[in-house]
């Protein structure tokens, strides 16, 4: 009888942990918390996660998946896959260079004693400096997965909220579906593996992106009315979520 119980328990745990976890995030872009869009974090039993925006998918219902990443009408602004070692990202801003990039990240987190409740979970405060911004996040030990919104990871639990110190960007979990029976389409899970021929170096892509931003800035300056003086000078990436990069600091060293 004990063997049967242990077998049933084993089978139950196999099913329980073989299902996906889905977290829906509301993304805000200013201090007034005006919703910009909704994004999804999809966590698989293999400890990989996908973070994406795509209005063609509805992950709240098992039978409501529709559209594909190849659909011309799909509205994709964010598409990131995270593994234990790397983050793979689909970049789209440079029109002539829509491509995939492997980005190896190192976070230096400081975990604090301050807590708050998010969606019924006790969450702990943590801070880090990442690519030109200071971030405050809240994570929960109750869901022990190495994942979070956008590129955030490497804390001992699921990250449910993240905001930069200037309140330009905020990610806030609005729904958590544990052990979801929704099957994540292979075109999402295997997209990066199936398109490795499109990979480019991250630093190379950012160089192209910066050149595009500089060109736009020059065009705006050329069309500015004569005599108009801006009260404040802005950097070309000041409005971007990644304002600076670690290799820029390396290049300044003697």
* pLDDT of amino acid 60: 56
* pLDDT of amino acid 33: 57
d(CA 43, CA 189): 10
Where do we find the tokens 């996040």? Answer: 137
pLDDT 10s digits, 236-252 = 898 899 999 988 876 55
pLDDT 10s digits, 150-187 = 999 999 999 999 999 999 999 999 999 888 777 777 87
Higher pLDDT, 46 or 143: 143
d(CA 247, CA 239): 20
* pLDDT of amino acid 67: 43
**For the chain, first and last CA: distance in Å?**
71
CA 243 to chain centroid, in Å, comes to: 16
Handedness of CA 101, 241, 38, 170 (dihedral sign): positive
* pLDDT of amino acid 234: 65
Q: How confident is the model at residue 226 (pLDDT cuts 50, 70, 90)?
A: low
Higher pLDDT, 75 or 150: 150
pLDDT 10s digits, 182-224 = 777 787 888 888 888 889 999 999 999 999 989 888 887 777 6
* pLDDT of amino acid 181: 76
Which CATH class name applies to 20-204? mainly beta
pLDDT 10s digits, 103-148 = 888 899 999 999 999 999 999 999 999 999 999 999 999 999 999 9
pLDDT 10s digits, 51-72 = 988 665 656 555 444 444 555 4
d(CA 125, CA 172): 14
Count the residues in the chain: 254
Cβ atoms of 147 and 159 within 8 Å: the answer is yes
User: What is this structure's pTM?
Assistant: 0.82
Tokens of 14: 């196999």
Looking at residue 63, the DSSP 8-state letter turns out to be: T
* pLDDT of amino acid 34: 64
* pLDDT of amino acid 170: 94
The 10 Å Cβ neighbour count of residue 211 is 12
pLDDT 10s digits, 93-111 = 887 787 888 888 889 999 9
Tokens of 27: 């993304």
| 197: three-class secondary structure by DSSP | helix
């Amino acid at each position: 009888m004990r063997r049967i119980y242990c077998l049933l328990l084993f089978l139950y745990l196999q099913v329980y942990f073989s299902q996906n976890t889905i977290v829906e995030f509301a993304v805000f872009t200013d201090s007034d918390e005006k919703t910009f869009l909704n994004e999804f974090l999809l966590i698989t039993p293999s400890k990989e996660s996908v973070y994406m925006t795509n209005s063609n998918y509805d992950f709240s219902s098992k039978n409501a998946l529709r559209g594909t990443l190849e659909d011309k009408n799909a509205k994709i602004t964010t598409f990131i896959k995270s593994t234990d070692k790397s983050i793979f990202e689909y970049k789209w801003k440079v029109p002539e260079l829509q491509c995939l990039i492997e980005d190896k990240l190192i976070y230096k987190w400081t975990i604090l004693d301050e807590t708050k409740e998010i969606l019924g979970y006790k969450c702990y405060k943590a801070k880090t400096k990442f690519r030109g911004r200071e971030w405050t996040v809240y994570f929960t030990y109750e869901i022990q997965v190495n994942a979070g919104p956008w590129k955030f990871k490497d804390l001992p639990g699921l990250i449910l909220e993240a905001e930069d110190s200037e309140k330009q960007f905020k990610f806030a979990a609005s729904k958590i579906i544990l052990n979801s029976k929704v099957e994540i389409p292979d075109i999402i899970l295997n997209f990066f593996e199936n398109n490795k021929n499109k990979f480019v170096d991250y630093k190379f892509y950012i160089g192209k992106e910066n050149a595009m931003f500089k060109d736009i800035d020059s065009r705006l300056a050329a069309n500015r009315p004569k005599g108009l003086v801006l009260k404040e000078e802005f950097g070309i990436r000041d409005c971007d979520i990644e304002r600076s990069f670690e290799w820029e600091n390396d290049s300044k060293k003697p």
